[in-house]
């Protein structure tokens, strides 16, 4: 009752409207969050394997966590109608702290830590994407994604190898650091004063059913294709981040090899601005096709490799093209989103993490019944190749600025 009596201009004062967050604000927030995720990225597979003792059991747990995360992501737009976005993001950051507390307890509490951190990731990701779609123009989305990756490069590069080293020193240490970073994330978020996003006029009709927007999504082929690109790109990262360390352990390679290689791969993020320039000079279609083709080739060669060291090298080369897909692979979806469906489609887009988190460990558990871990690499490579074929349907001029578009017509024949 009291909320309704407050004038609209007072709840959203002009001063707050003048404080329009820019690209760097979102890049900063993303960079701080990656401090948490980067530190725990390679710790979770090792800690899970140590607690459960079997790669198939690890896949089963990841499968269940993925189902919980997908359900949460689908319901967040409905929750956001009742809980303001600033409090929803704060809840996500607090879940990181809860996951850190559970992780310090060790043993099977690592499963609870994984659940809390996964739900934190999906909550923060949906909220941040909604903020970006509110405040960033469509033509600047590519620059926003690249700057977010560039700001996150140091954390993604140093985090995995540091997290594994700290875990070997004392298993609770990386989770204690996670708690501290969660506090920093909350402080930075409130300091940026993002609020609840753009002021949107009160709807004249009742809010739709929480899952009603799925129908609108399924009617738009461009959105479906862009979402599938994100799903398979994420499946590629699953195959690299989760199953590469397990493959190394089972083949007698150093336990910390996975974390070291993930850190080395993430070092490519420092050249992401150069990758973006290449994407802008060519097109999103060219970049996406190149990324999927080369990543599929790397996973396929790793599956066929007779030597573990050679398989690891092929996966490492493939991961460099997954970075290229991180820059360009999400643009087909984001560029097709209608302004009136920002929050709902942000939730749809974020579900790629959860779907890949269900699909990859679910298929991996079945593959491990009849084949070694290299069989997982083969399946991932086949999925990436399928996306290479699908990406051929993208518009050739997608992502090219309007003033740089030139009709590609064949030269006129000389009548003489």
pLDDT tens profile 366-410? 998 898 989 999 999 999 999 999 988 877 666 555 555 555 444
The count of other CB atoms within 10 Å of the CB of residue 139 is 11
pLDDT over threshold 80, residue 299: yes
pLDDT over threshold 90, residue 236: yes
> Which of 250-259, 288-297, 356-365: highest mean pLDDT?
288-297
Higher pLDDT, 394 or 324: 324
The pLDDT assigned to 195 comes to 65
pLDDT in tens, 87-108: 899 999 999 999 999 999 988 8
pLDDT over threshold 90, residue 293: yes
Considering only CA atoms, which of 173, 158, 172, 352 is closest in space to residue 262? Answer: 158
pLDDT over threshold 80, residue 160: yes
pLDDT over threshold 50, residue 17: no
The pLDDT assigned to 31 comes to 84
Q: Residue 245 to residues 224, 259, 375: CA-CA distances in angstroms?
A: 32, 7, 15
Would the CA dihedral through 195, 200, 202, 203 be positive or negative? negative
Average pLDDT of the segment spanning 76-85: 82
Rounded (10°) CA dihedral 192, 197, 199, 202: -150
Displacement of CA 286 from its chain's centroid (Å): 21
pLDDT in tens, 238-281: 899 888 888 988 888 887 787 788 888 878 877 777 887 888 78
Q: How many helices (H) and strands (E) does the chain have?
A: 20, 0
pLDDT over threshold 70, residue 6: no
The pLDDT assigned to 342 comes to 62
Higher pLDDT, 74 or 20: 74
Higher pLDDT, 349 or 93: 93
Which residues fall within 8 angstroms of residue 407, CB to CB, at 6 or more apart? none
The pLDDT assigned to 205 comes to 44
The pLDDT assigned to 5 comes to 42
What's the pLDDT band for 117 if we cut at 50, 70, 90? very high
The ranges assigned to domains in the chain are 20-198+211-399
Output DSSP code: residue 202: P
pLDDT over threshold 80, residue 326: yes
Q: Residue 118 to residues 83, 205, 263, 380, 383: CA-CA distances in angstroms?
A: 20, 34, 20, 22, 24
Average pLDDT, the chain: 80
pLDDT over threshold 80, residue 344: no
Higher pLDDT, 347 or 126: 126
Considering only CA atoms, which of 170, 195, 216 is closest in space to residue 336? Answer: 216
Cβ atoms of 279 and 399 within 8 Å: the answer is: yes
Q: Residue 177 to residues 171, 174, 183, 321: CA-CA distances in angstroms?
A: 11, 5, 10, 30
| pTM listed for this prediction | 0.70
pLDDT over threshold 80, residue 164: yes
Regarding the domain with residue range 20-198+211-399, which homologous superfamily does it belong to in the CATH classification?
A: MFS general substrate transporter like domains (1.20.1250.20)
The pLDDT assigned to 14 comes to 43
The pLDDT assigned to 127 comes to 85
Start-to-end C-alpha separation, the chain: 83
Least confident among 9-13, 101-105, 157-161: 9-13
What's the pLDDT band for 20 if we cut at 50, 70, 90? low
Q: Where are the alpha helices (DSSP H) in 242-271?
A: 243-250, 257-266
Distance separating alpha carbons of residues 35 and 31, to the nearest angstrom: 7
């Amino acid at each position: 009752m009291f909320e309704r009596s407050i004038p609209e201009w007072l709840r959203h004062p002009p001063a707050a409207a003048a404080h329009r967050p820019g690209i760097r604000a979102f890049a900063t927030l993303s960079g701080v969050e990656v401090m948490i995720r980067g530190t725990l990225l390679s710790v979770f597979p090792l800690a899970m394997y140590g607690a459960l003792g079997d790669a198939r059991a690890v896949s089963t747990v990841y499968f269940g966590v993925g189902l919980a995360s997908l359900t949460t992501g689908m319901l967040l737009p409905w929750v956001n109608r009742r809980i303001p976005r600033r409090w929803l993001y704060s809840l996500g950051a607090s879940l990181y702290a809860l996951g850190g507390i559970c992780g310090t307890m060790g043993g099977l509490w690592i499963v609870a830590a994984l659940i809390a951190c996964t739900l934190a990731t999906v909550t923060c990701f949906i909220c941040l994407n909604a903020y970006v779609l509110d405040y960033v123009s469509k033509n600047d989305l590519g620059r926003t994604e690249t700057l977010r990756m560039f700001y996150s490069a140091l954390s993604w590069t140093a985090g995995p190898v540091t997290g594994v080293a700290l875990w070997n020193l004392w298993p609770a240490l990386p989770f204690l650091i996670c708690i501290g970073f969660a506090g920093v994330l909350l402080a930075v978020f409130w300091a940026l004063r993002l609020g609840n996003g753009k002021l949107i006029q009160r709807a004249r009709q009742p809010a739709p059913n929480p899952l009603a927007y799925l129908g609108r999504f399924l009617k738009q082929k461009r959105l479906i294709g862009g979402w599938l690109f994100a799903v398979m790109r994420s499946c590629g990262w699953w195959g690299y981040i989760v199953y590469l360390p397990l493959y190394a352990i089972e083949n007698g390679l150093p336990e910390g090899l996975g974390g070291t290689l993930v850190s080395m791969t993430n070092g490519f993020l420092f050249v992401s601005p150069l990758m973006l320039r290449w994407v802008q000079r060519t097109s999103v279609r060219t970049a996406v096709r190149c990324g999927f083709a080369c990543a599929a080739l790397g996973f396929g060669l790793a599956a066929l490799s007779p030597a573990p060291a050679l398989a690891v090298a092929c996966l490492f080369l493939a991961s460099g093209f997954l970075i290229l897909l991180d820059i360009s692979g999400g643009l087909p979806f984001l560029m097709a989103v209608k302004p009136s469906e920002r929050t709902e489609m942000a939730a749809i887009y974020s579900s790629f993490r959860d779907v890949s988190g269900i699909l990859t460990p679910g298929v991996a558990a079945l593959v491990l019944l009849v084949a070694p871990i290299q069989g997982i690499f083969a399946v991932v490579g086949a999925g990436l190749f399928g996306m290479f074929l699908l990406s051929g349907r993208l518009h050739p001029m997608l992502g090219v600025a309007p003033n740089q578009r030139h009709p590609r017509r064949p030269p006129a024949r000389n009548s003489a």
